[in-house]
Every structure is written in C-alpha cells, then in structure tokens.
Amino acid sequence: MELVVESIFNTVKDKEFLRIAEKVLEGKRINQEEAVYLYKSNELTALGLIAEYINRKKNGMYAYFIVNRQINPTNVCMYQCDFCAFGVKKSDPRAYEMDMEEILKKVEELYQMGGREVHIVGGIPSYWNYDKYIEIVREVKKRFPDIIVKAWTAVEIHHMAKISGKSYQEVLTELKNAGLDALPGGGAEIFSDRVRQIIAPYKANAEEYLEVHKTAHKLGIPTNATMLYGHVETIEERVEHMEMLRKLQDETGGFQVFIPLAYWPEGTRLGGYRTSSVDDLKTIAISRIYLDNFDHIKAYWVTLGEKVAQVALNFGADDLDGTIQEEKIVHAAGTKSAYGHSVDKLVNLIKKSGKIPAERDTFYNVVKVYD
Ligand code: SF4
C-alpha cells in the first residue's frame, strides 16, 4: 500500500495537492483551507489512495456491518423541513403511527434473526408527550434486554427537553435509565445557520445538536455524527461542519463514527438533484482525512447505493451500516437501494469490494469475521 500511495508523487502534477498529501501521510492534521482545496481538486484517484491508506492504518482490511433494524414509529412531524420527504402532516394520507405492540413485534423479528441493535428515530408529532419517548425505550429494553437500543436523534432529544422543561442532562439520564444505549447521528444536516434557515429553520440548530451530543458523551452514552450534503451548502460549509465535529471529538472522544449522507431530492419541497458519485467518493475520502480523531467512516449503502458504497470501502470508509430491514426515510426521497439486506448479501457486497466482512455490535466490538 505504501508504495502505491507514494506513486502519486510521480503521477500528480498539482504541487499544492502534493504538499497537502505529504502532510496527511506524515500524520499531520490538515486545516479547513486545505480540505477545501482537496475538494476542489480533480485528483480523485490520488485522494482515494490517501484516504484508504489512513483507513487501513486504523481498521486494516476489515469492513464492518451490523445485524440491525430501523424502526420509525411515526412519520408525522411538526417541523416540516424542506429537504425531508419522510415527515408529513397528520392529515396527509401517507401519515402512519405504530402502536407499542407493532414496535415490539418488529424488535422480536430482529431478535429471532440474531440481530443486535434497533435504531429508533422518526417524525416528531406535536401531540406526543415526553413520556411516550421514554416509554418506547423502556418497553423495548424490558422485553429484549440483549438488544442494544440506539434511539432518538439530537433533534428529538432537544424537542423532548423543550416540551418537558427538562435539561438535556435530565432527559438523557432518564432515557439511559430506561435502557438507552447509544444515540444515532441524525439531525446534523449542515451546521451552517445560512443553510439551516433554508432547509430546516425550525428544528434544533447546530449549537443545540452539538450540546446534546456533548452531554451524552459526558454521561457515557456514545453517539454517531452525520452530515447531509448535496443540497444548497457550499464546500466551505461542509468543511466547517467537519471542523465543528472534530473540535467536539477532541474534547469528548464520544463519537463512534462519521456518516456522510448524500441528499435525495425526490418528493421534497426543496427539490434539486442527486449528488454525483465523484462527489460522494470525495466526501468519504475527505472526511476520512479531515476527521483524524474518528475511528470509523460509514459508507451508508442506503444513500450511496450498493455499488458506490463498495467503491467507498476503498476510498477511506470502513463500515456499510447494517441489514436495516425496513428503511423508510431515504426511500421516501427516492433512493432505489433495497429496503434491507440479508447478512449473506452484505457479506457478499463487502467481499466483492476486496475487504474482509466483520460483523460488529453498536460499539464496534467485532462479533464475527467472515474470512
Ligand atoms: S427531517 Fe426530521 S424533523 Fe425534519 S421534517 Fe423530517 S422527520 Fe421531521
């Protein structure tokens, strides 16, 4: 690998790109201007090589996945973000709401197939009270103590604090006592105020998102981080987003993985176009290079599509997410990926990308290696 990486110094002619590459390969941290330069350069192959070199130092040839299930208890949402095709008004014919039995039945199905994690997030109905969120976590954990409960985004936690008058610390402590094990990364979108005013003006802002995660880390609750890219943001705003995450990670070390989420426009009020696969791969590679204090970068197969996700596993990503079983949020916005994948299918996808499939739990403990 090292010889191949060094070959970029013979093939790339862009001196500034080579200077930044050298810095990265020496293990030095790059700054925002340098990350923007990498984004704007056209050295895609060289960028992928550098990012993959960093990834292999951290994760070897493993590419991780988890046997998990997404549960979205409702799509009714009072926030109506313009980039989101999932959240609808209660009066919308597409509106649905699961009762507790339905939620537990879905967890049971996961449990029967040897699953390890439920990922529970959804719309935010104005008429749900605080206890409802706590109750869902408590019931799932009570019936399935072995299942890891990763639930509620920072946006939902912020909303819970708002409607209950409690602090983030109080809300998260109650959730933890009810059985919450980890927080997902959703709701970050792009931290820039300018962008949030356009795509999601009403929900938790950047400061609130980061404060929720910081509080969770202090309470020993690990969390994930995301970035929704490819709508109205600039490259500079993407890099600024990564910078804010890197800073918090320096402080707490509580993030487990960074997940770049490609925007899907179908059915949204915001509209626009799909990201290109070149942009997807650059974003994976640059996040791997920039976020030097994150152990893992996820190539989320639902938003990238299976084929780009396989290439991403050679551009710095080390994780595909999981079996998922029933993805609704990105499908509402038009993704053509499957709703879920079997373990066999994920193992096959990873093997054909040239990596070794490693089944993991939520905390990146390896459960089984499929050599
Ligand atoms: S992104 Fe989340 S908060 Fe915004 S409308 Fe969709 S479900 Fe609601």
pLDDT, residue 6, reads 81
Closest by CA to 67, choosing from 340, 353, 356, 371, is 340
Q: Are 71 and 107 in contact, with CB atoms under 8 Å apart?
A: yes
Q: Percentage of residues in the chain with pLDDT exceeding 70?
A: 100
pLDDT, residue 363, reads 97
Q: What angle do CA 10, 16, 20 make, to 5 degrees?
A: 85
Q: Is 68 helix (H, G, I), strand (E, B) or coil?
A: strand
* Domain end among 31, 54, 77: 54
Q: Which two tokens stand for residue 4?
A: 């191949």
Residue 190, CB-side half-sphere exposure with 13 Å CA sphere: 24
Q: Are 83 and 228 in contact, with CB atoms under 8 Å apart?
A: yes
Does the beta carbon of 124 lie inside 6 Å of ligand 1?
yes
Note whether 141 and 47 are same-domain residues: no
Closest by CA to 221, choosing from 258, 174, 159, is 174
Note whether 98 and 180 are same-domain residues: yes
Note whether 165 and 183 are same-domain residues: yes
pLDDT, residue 334, reads 75
pLDDT, residue 324, reads 84
pLDDT, residue 46, reads 96
Block residue for tokens 């930044």: 20
Taking residues 121-135, what's their average pLDDT?
Answer: 98
Domain count for the chain: 2
Note whether 142 and 279 are same-domain residues: yes
Q: Which residues pair with 71 in a beta bridge?
A: 120
Range of the domain at 18: 2-54
pTM: 0.96
Span from the CA of 81 to the centroid of ligand 1 (angstroms): 6
Cα(149)–Cα(135) distance, integer angstroms: 13
Cα(277)–Cα(36) distance, integer angstroms: 18
Note whether 224 and 320 are same-domain residues: yes
Q: Are 17 and 34 in contact, with CB atoms under 8 Å apart?
A: no
Q: Which two tokens stand for residue 309?
A: 């996700």
Note whether 232 and 304 are same-domain residues: yes
CA dist list (Å): 189 to 45, 175, 200, 221, 238: 27, 24, 9, 21, 10
Note whether 288 and 350 are same-domain residues: yes
> Would you list the DSSP string of 300-356?
-HHHH-HHHHHHHTTTT--EEEE--S---HHHHTT--S-S---HHHHHHHHHHTTSE
Write the pLDDT tens digit of every residue in 57-82: 999 999 999 999 999 999 999 999 99
| Confidence band of 157 (pLDDT split at 50, 70, 90) | very high
pLDDT value at 332 more than 90: no
Which CATH number is 262's domain given? 3.20.20.70
Block residue for tokens 């690998």: 1
Q: Percentage of residues in the chain with pLDDT exceeding 90?
A: 90
Cα(1)–Cα(3) distance, integer angstroms: 6
Cα(60)–Cα(12) distance, integer angstroms: 26
* Domain end among 12, 35, 54: 54
Write the pLDDT tens digit of every residue in 284-324: 999 999 999 999 999 999 999 999 999 999 999 999 998 88
Note whether 87 and 45 are same-domain residues: no
Type and span of the H or E element at 226 = strand 223-229
- Mutational test site, ligand 1, from 75, 76, 80, 158, max ligand atoms within 8 Å of CB: 80
Span from the CA of 300 to the centroid of ligand 1 (angstroms): 19
| Confidence band of 217 (pLDDT split at 50, 70, 90) | very high
Mean pLDDT score across all residues of the chain: 95
Write the pLDDT tens digit of every residue in 234-282: 999 999 999 999 999 999 999 999 999 999 999 999 999 999 999 999 9
Span from the CA of 76 to the centroid of ligand 1 (angstroms): 9
pLDDT value at 339 more than 90: no
pLDDT, residue 371, reads 87
Note whether 32 and 84 are same-domain residues: no
pLDDT, residue 3, reads 75
pLDDT value at 18 more than 80: yes
Note whether 262 and 139 are same-domain residues: yes
Note whether 153 and 193 are same-domain residues: yes
Q: Which two tokens stand for residue 180?
A: 């919450």
Does the beta carbon of 79 lie inside 6 Å of ligand 1?
yes
Note whether 41 and 79 are same-domain residues: no
- Mutational test site, ligand 1, from 72, 76, 84, max ligand atoms within 8 Å of CB: 84
Cα-trace Rg, the chain: 20
Write the pLDDT tens digit of every residue in 81-124: 999 999 999 999 999 999 999 999 999 999 998 898 999 999 99
Q: Which two tokens stand for residue 303?
A: 């938003």
Span from the CA of 3 to the centroid of ligand 1 (angstroms): 46
- Terminal Cα-to-Cα distance of the chain (whole angstroms): 21
| Confidence band of 327 (pLDDT split at 50, 70, 90) | confident
pLDDT, residue 64, reads 98
